[in-house]
Amino acid sequence: MEYMSGGTLSDEIRRRGGRLDESLIKLYTYQILQGLDYLHGKGLAHCDIKSQNILVGEEGVKIADLGCAKLVRRVDWIEDEDLYEWDAASKISGTPAFMAPEVARGEQQGVEADVWALGCTIIEMATGGGPWPELNDPASALYHIGYRNCLPELPSWLSEEGKDFLSMCLKRDSKERWTAKELVGHRFVQVLESHLGQYEAQKTSPSGVLDRDLWDLLELSESNSSSSNEEVQLDVSFLSSAAKERIKVLIGSGDTFSCLPCTPDWGWSSDDNDDWFTVRSNDFEEDPVLDSTTSTSFDSIFHEQGEIVYPHYLMKCRLIIIILLNLLVQILVVKQVLL
């Protein structure tokens, strides 16, 4: 598995002070679109696009966490429009704050919902918050998104091209939403195509945290071999010490981490099963602490707890109860006024 040194896109947003510059938003959006276009071309809907499921590396970003992904069947080819209509699977899954209106209503969840979620993720990159910051209750949010004719507020500081791009993503009618393939050609990200190759050529992405020195060594071997026909004998004794130095940097060897040993104990004991430790977990009980700046935000509730999965009937029952409660409140208010 490739090593993505930047963590999640959510981590990157926090590192950069709560929002990203538009140039970086363009780059990340373009790369997410490329990933979505590939998935959708294979008949897959991701169903949970958000900053927590986008990983940041030296070459940009990549889509991760396909735990909610589903295969959707292509049911009808529209020749004039050069696209497929999709048969969305019946089970609804994902993070409620990023759900499209048709998903919140429990109707369908196809590739169009990924485009809506991308729009919500762009808002997250631009503001540091979720698309619905005023909502903090999951059930109310599903009702708000699904049944009220409203849209997330667009970041005011974005360029007109950026706002237009978002408006193409955030269409309440899924049939009016642009596809990932269409959005790749939008002028908001189109300018990147001529520069992206040069950007990627300047970057390298190791597949592990310790292998860069080995790559450098292999490059040296190739250059030496091309200039001489003699067999090159390479001294690799320094690799172990280089690996230790990289581990020290990763675990922290300064005063802040003075309570930690400089290097872990790599000794293997067949009698002891306690040598293993958890690096990261999505289990809420193991890591219950959420970021304080988003602890009251509806979307943050689901970032570390995992995604919810609702069958259609359960989703509709919850929404019917909410609608009935709203009607009851309105009746009581009218009755109180009349009295």
Residue closest to 46 by CA, chosen among 70, 62, 17, 15: 70
Looking up tokens 């091209």, which residue turns up? 161
Look at the alpha carbons of 235, 240, 244, 246 in this order and tell me if their dihedral is positive or negative. positive
Residue 249 has pLDDT above 60, yes or no: no
Please give the Cα distance from 6 to 23 (Å, whole number): 18
Question: Using one digit for the tens of pLDDT, what is the confidence trace for 39-67?
Answer: 999 999 999 999 999 999 988 999 999 99
Q: What is the predicted pLDDT for the residue at 89?
A: 55
The reported pLDDT for the residue numbered 139 is 86
In the chain the domains, ranked by start, together with CATH numbers, are 9-201 (1.10.510.10)
Task: Say if residue 205's pLDDT is above 70.
Answer: no
Q: Of 11, 37, 48, 65, which residue is the catalytic one?
A: 48
pTM of the model: 0.61
Q: How far apart are CA 45 and CA 72, in angstroms?
A: 7
Q: What are phi and psi of 205, to 5 degrees?
A: -130, 105
Q: Would you say 112 and 182 are in contact if contact means Cβ atoms under 8 Å apart?
A: no
Looking at residue 208, its pLDDT comes to 54
- Mean pLDDT over each residue of the chain, to the nearest integer: 74
Q: Give the per-residue pLDDT at 313.
A: 60
Residue 34, pLDDT score: 96
- How buried is 89 (Cβ within 10 angstroms: 0-12 exposed, 13-18 middle, 19+ buried)? middle
Top-confidence residue, 150 or 210: 150
The dihedral over CA atoms of 43, 44, 45, 49, expressed in degrees to the nearest 10, equals: -140
Residue 111 has pLDDT above 80, yes or no: yes
* Annotated catalytic residue 48: yes
Res 102 pLDDT > 70: yes
